[in-house]
């Protein structure tokens, strides 16, 4: 079976054309293993509809993924000659998402408007941090923790992230967010993804971070969001869908045995 390896800011995926087979969860665990498989944060199936189905590296099925959607756009432009600048809809488990390829390096995705995470209050007290976390959905659940004094240390991030991701049944993506002292109207974010753990970037997490930061007055509607793997531009007018713009890159192609 042929595959392609794609990445967006270091958040990497194994892409396979077609619909997921019955054993897709087991394949995700096997192929995403960085020692015995291809190595990736997730396994993406994309059919001709186009419909994207994504599995995390632990085999769990993800409802959506912003970085993977950017890679979908770039793959479609490369493989199917999707015209530059043209909006296209892609089906996901969390509904339709729009995307457009701006050039050979950048893709914009309309992640839809933020919503509520079912079965939760808007805020979750977090004694370790001393501040509440903010629940919201970007098609998948997020818990955004604002850090006025700066991002946590690596040890605190791993300790808090591994615990907070289990705050709700099925897990939640956790973002620790701070203002960038050297850049006006910009954020820096550390992400603990449910089903994958610490990752270099999370597109939907960057969108969730921007929404909360706008609501509390930290930034305006357009902001640069820095993640360990690089930077995304996030734009939100306070009402409509959150727009995410960033890179997507084909790493290599191969054959799975």
Active site residues: 65, 202
The neighbouring-strand residues paired with 99 are 88, 109
Q: What angle do CA 238, 225, 162 make, to 5 degrees?
A: 100
Kindly report the number of other CB atoms within 10 A of residue 250's CB atom.
15
CA 127/CA 107 separation, integer angstroms: 38
Residue 45 token pair: 């199936």
CA distance linking residue 104 with residue 87, whole number of Å: 15
Q: Which residues of 5-28 are buried (b: 16+ CB within 10 A; e: fewer)?
A: bbbbbebbbbbbbeebeeebbebb
Contact 216, 178 (CB under 8 A): no
- Kindly report the backbone phi and psi dihedral angles of residue 123, in degrees, each rounded to the nearest multiple of 5, phi listed first: -120, 145
């Amino acid at each position: 079976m042929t595959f392609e390896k794609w990445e967006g800011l270091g958040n990497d995926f194994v892409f396979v054309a077609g619909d997921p087979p019955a054993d897709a969860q087991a394949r995700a665990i096997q192929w995403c293993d960085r020692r015995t498989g291809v190595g990736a944060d997730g396994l993406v199936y994309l059919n001709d509809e186009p419909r994207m189905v994504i599995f995390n590296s632990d085999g769990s099925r993800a409802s959506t993924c912003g970085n993977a959607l950017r890679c979908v756009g770039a793959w479609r432009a490369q493989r199917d000659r999707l015209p530059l600048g043209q909006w296209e809809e892609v089906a996901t488990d969390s509904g339709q998402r729009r995307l457009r390829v701006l050039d050979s390096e950048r893709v914009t995705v309309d992640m839809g408007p933020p919503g509520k995470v079912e079965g939760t209050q808007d805020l979750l007290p977090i004694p370790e941090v001393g501040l509440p976390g903010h629940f919201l959905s970007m098609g998948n659940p997020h818990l955004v923790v604002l850090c006025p004094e700066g991002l946590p240390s690596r040890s605190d991030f791993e300790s808090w992230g591994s615990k907070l991701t289990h705050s709700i049944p099925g897990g939640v993506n956790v973002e620790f967010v701070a203002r960038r002292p050297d850049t006006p109207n910009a954020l820096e974010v550390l992400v603990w993804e449910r089903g994958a753990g610490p990752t270099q970037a999370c597109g939907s997490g960057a969108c969730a971070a921007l929404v909360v930061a706008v609501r509390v007055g930290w930034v305006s509607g357009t902001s640069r969001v820095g993640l360990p793997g690089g930077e995304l531009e996030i734009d939100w007018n306070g009402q409509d869908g959150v727009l995410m713009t960033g890179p997507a890159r084909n790493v290599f192609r191969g054959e799975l045995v």
